[in-house]
Chains A and B, each alone.
Chain A
Amino acid sequence: MKERLLLLALLMLGNAPVWAEQPAECRVAENLLESSFRLPQVTRAIAAKHLTVLVMGAGSSQLPGPNGAANGSNSPGNAYPVRLQQALAQQLHGVEVKVTTDVKAKRTAAEMVKALPAALSANKPALLVWQTGTVDAMLAIDPDQFSHALDKGINIAHSAGADVVLINAQYSPRTESMIALGTYAEDMRWVALQHEIPVFDRFSIMKLWGELGTFDLYSATKKLDIAERVHDCIGRLLADLVITAAKPEEAPVNGSR
């Protein structure tokens, strides 16, 4: 037990430099980034110096405008998948990082599951980052069907040799009284726990930013500046979650899957 505590303390120290590179505004949400679960495939991919990530998502994984496309590998790009790629590349020296995307607005979890096998076999990622839940909540999809779709998608990814990180809905204060996210967030947390995979709690992180005034999420504006900064932070924090959960020195020797 003592050794484990020591290891934990060392690990926490080990994380400190990661935060040092964050803009202050992202950093306030760092304690919301916790996961007890590991990403063994990512660990292996980092060791092999070649990491491919697939971001599967709906409308909140992209931004409007010329640079808003989720897939910005050959353009500056400002949506979080592109920021994720940059943050990963920055922190994983010597590792070739590639983030590919399959992002289309207004897709439910079940619709994304249908697109998943093709996207996985085309990209062969070590990690699937799956953003879902908002559209299901908006359409009031039966929560059981939502859980079932999550379950199925995770199984497909795992059998294709990819780890999975789930991203829940955005915190959107104006529409909060119109979209009942609660059940879907709880179901996602539970499915993730069953599969022992991390959830990137985008909702709580953005809510904290809203409460602390880090970003003004209430403003009625067509301007992209805040949205871009939010996506930048999401990309960076997501990279930290992935790297922490894939810490090579901490990976179980006998691999849990």
Chain B
Amino acid sequence: MAPVPTERDLRLDLFRGLALWLIFLDHIPSNAVSWITIRNYGFSDATEIFVFISGYTAAFVYGRAMQQHGFIVASARVLKRAWQIYIAHVFLLAIYLAEIAYVSNSFDNPLYTEEMGVLDFLKNPDVTILQALLLKFKPVNMDILPLYILLLAWFPPMLWLLLRAPSIALLASASLYALMWLFEWNLPAYPSGTWVFNPFAWQLLFVFGAWCALGGAQNLSRWIHSKVVVGLAIAYLVFAFSIAMTWYFPRLAVFVPKFLGEAIYPIDKTNLDVLRIIHFLALAVITVAFVPRDWPALKSRFFWPAIVCGQHSLETFCIGVFLSFAGHFVFTEVSNRVLTQVAVSFLGIAIMVAVAALISWYRQAERQGGGPRPPAAKPGYAGGDV
């Protein structure tokens, strides 16, 4: 059994923090600032970063717990975390319902009779709320936490296997991914359709993250740093960028050869298209090649805001979802000028940082103040959350 590394890799916190900011920006509809986010320049987006790093940190934290305290204790902790996320999801749902109930009561426009039908589910809250609690009814942009909950609930046996036979665990995960494509597995959603983030597909990235945390990354490091791989990664990113440009300039679309178009489209986010995985891996290779683990700037003040957000990802994520509702509300009720959009985006990120900093401070104060348990009893929480 390989020992789980002890020092937290600040790069993970940095990039998870950045991913959370990007998710926030992308979740405000028609936000001019979301032009800067990576989804506009290639196939993958912040979701891949978030899921991969979440898998990585989950293995990092609970892997050590499982080695020191055994399967049962570590599993209990993982499930407790899944429960916390479930509560957070339901909390966000309540806020969302309040927002749309307001819109349905106050907004009327003959141009949008059809679109207002989306609020029809408010007419039978008994079914809707029950389906929401079962994670089947998930409003727009509230799909990531249910995915996270499921991935964690399923994680204990996977972690057990990862600690004993990492290659077999990764192979099992990849097989599940392949079977999902073969048999089109997905979970049902309400009122129709399936999960927006297919857990059978996205588990691959989560497990791959966990596998990397448990020594896989070290085994790969020779490959990752080879010039050929870095060159291929850059070539792929350039390719994805050129394809992405045809989405915004339809005139360019005719330059995409028909066979190529048929081969790559549709780029399936629900089932985590292979093109998206490769795009994420290419980004990861470039990042690892150019941002060394001991890069001094990681401890600088400049990166601290993103890092502190990444260290308290659940809270920051929830605040981000709430703020994206609020931001959209400001756009519709107050002003949707570009200046407002920029201001709302920056203010939102500032609030996310402030909340993360507050939580960070509180955790530290709790530890120093000699809480109910001495810090040594909580090895899993050293340096941040899952």
Contacts and interface: CB of A to CB of B under 8 A. Distances in A.
Interface of A: 34, 36, 58-60, 63-65, 68, 105-106, 134-135, 138-143, 147, 170, 172-180, 183, 186-187, 189-190, 193-194, 207, 210-211, 217-224, 226-227, 230
Contacts of B332: 173-174, 218
Secondary structure at chain A's binding surface: helix, strand, loop or mixed? loop
B64 to A, nearest CB: 39
A220 B115 contact: no
A170 B115 contact: yes
Contacts of A139: 191-193
A34 B114 CA distance: 27
B254 interface: yes
B109 A219 contact: yes
Contact of A178 (B110, B113, B139): B139
Interface size class of B (residues with CB under 8 A): 35 or more
24 contacts: A36-B251, A63-B110, A64-B110, A105-B113, A134-B114, A134-B115, A135-B114, A140-B191, A141-B193, A170-B114, A173-B29, A173-B336, A174-B103, A177-B29, A178-B103, A189-B247, A189-B250, A190-B261, A193-B253, A210-B336, A211-B336, A218-B332, A222-B109, A224-B110
B107 interface: yes
Contact of A194 (B106, B115, B262): B262
B100 A36 contact: no
Secondary structure at chain B's binding surface: helix, strand, loop or mixed? helix
Contacts of B192: 139-142
Contacts of A218: 332, 336
A189 B100 CA distance: 29
A186 B325 CA distance: 24
A122 to B, nearest CB: 24
A183 B115 contact: no
Given A34-B250, A178-B140, A138 B117 contact: yes
A147 B268 CA distance: 12
Nearest to A137: B118
A142 B140 contact: no
Interface string B106-139: 1111111111111100000000000000000001
Given A178-B100, A194-B261, A207-B30, 7 more contacts: A59-B113, A138-B115, A142-B192, A174-B103, A177-B325, A189-B247, A226-B109
A170 B115 CA distance: 9
A221 B324 CA distance: 25
Nearest to A61: B114
Interface of B: 28-30, 99-100, 103, 106-119, 139-141, 189, 191-194, 196, 247, 250-251, 253-254, 261-262, 265-266, 269-270, 324-325, 328, 331-332, 336
Contacts of B266: 143, 147, 186-187, 190
A60 B193 contact: no
A118 B381 CA distance: 65
A175 B103 contact: yes
A250 B103 CA distance: 49
B191 A175 contact: no
B172 to A, nearest CB: 27
Nearest to A222: B108
Contact of A221 (B103, B109, B115, B253): B109
Contacts of A207: 30
A58 to B, nearest CB: 6
A134 B141 CA distance: 17
Contacts of B28: 177
Contacts of B191: 139-140
Nearest to B119: A178
A219 B129 CA distance: 30
Closest 10 CB pairs of A and B: A59-B114, A176-B29, A227-B111, A140-B193, A172-B115, A175-B115, A180-B140, A227-B110, A177-B328, A138-B118
Given A140-B193, A141-B192, A177-B328, A170 B270 contact: no
Contacts of B109: 174, 217, 219-222, 226-227
B112 A58 contact: no
Contact of A220 (B106, B119, B196): B106
A29 to B, nearest CB: 14
Given A175-B112, A177-B328, A222-B108, A143 B118 contact: no
Contact of B193 (A142, A179, A219): A142
A58 B140 contact: no
A186 B141 CA distance: 17
B248 to A, nearest CB: 10
B351 to A, nearest CB: 18
Given A141-B193, A142-B194, A170 B112 contact: yes
A226 B107 CA distance: 15
Nearest to A172: B115
B100 A64 contact: no
